[in-house]
Amino acid sequence: MTNKRQALVTGANKGIGFAIAKGLAEAGMSVWLGSRDRLRGEEAVARLRAQGLDVQLLELDVADEASVRRAAAILAGEIGALDVLVNNAGVLVDVTTPPSKVRMEDMKAVFEVNLFGPVRVTQAVLPLLKAAQGARVVMMSSGVGSLTLITDPTSIYSSVNILDYTSSKVALNAVTISFAKELEPLGIKVNAVEPGHVRTDLNGNSGSLTPEEGAATAIRMALIGAEGPTAGFFGSHGRQPW
């Protein structure tokens, strides 16, 4: 066991997740880089270790119950407490299909990762979060997870109409509040963040922000002090509307 502060970032072998893992390691944390693909995860870990950062691989498929249980057991055998959990893993299947044509199997697949994944991972590592002194949980949401923004014609998010992805992020915001209410008496803060329009594989690298810029809010909320908020939704410009 080690006394160093510990963090787990899911979906961290590339993109925003990789940038979050790097940022938390640069802040002095020992980071578990969650990746469902072992080879890609090992390559990502090697890149960060080459920079002198304390990072290790945790093979983890958030959509697979058995995988999550195994990963949680491995963590429990290696660390005594988990100070930060960033539920970053997410998928976007199709941006062109209208809601009336979305296949149910595709919608279920998106929810399995984007919604049920964060729930099952948080539940699985909760004993480790409770063992920490004031743990932090960050849910990677999206601007389209805000009902206010997607119905505001002045917002760029109002032009987006992706049934499965959008609804999964709206639901994730509700999940954030639920966990925050339960865990606040234990000193655990749970917040959702939106990274902005980031260049990632998720959107065909069409975004305007770098992964590092998109990771900034998640890193900031993962490192907030005792005076920081809980049950909130935050972006680069501060608190966002639900």
Q: Give the CA count within 13 Å in the CB-facing half-sphere of 44.
A: 30
Rounded distance between C-alpha atoms, residue 111 and residue 124, angstroms: 18
Rounded distance between C-alpha atoms, residue 212 and residue 50, angstroms: 18
* 139 in Cβ contact with 114 (< 8 Å): no
Single out the catalytic residue among 157, 165, 233, 234.
165
- DSSP-assigned letter for residue 236: T
Rounded distance between C-alpha atoms, residue 85 and residue 32, angstroms: 10
Strands (E), 64-175: 84-87, 136-140
Find residue 85's DSSP bridge partners.
8, 137
Concatenating the DSSP letter of every residue in 33-72 gives EEESSHHHHHHHHHHHHTTT--EEEEE--TT-HHHHHHHH
| Active site (annotated) includes residue 165 | yes
Give, in order, the Cα–Cα distances in Å from 89 to each of 15, 40, 124, 159, 194.
10, 14, 16, 24, 13
Active site residues: 165
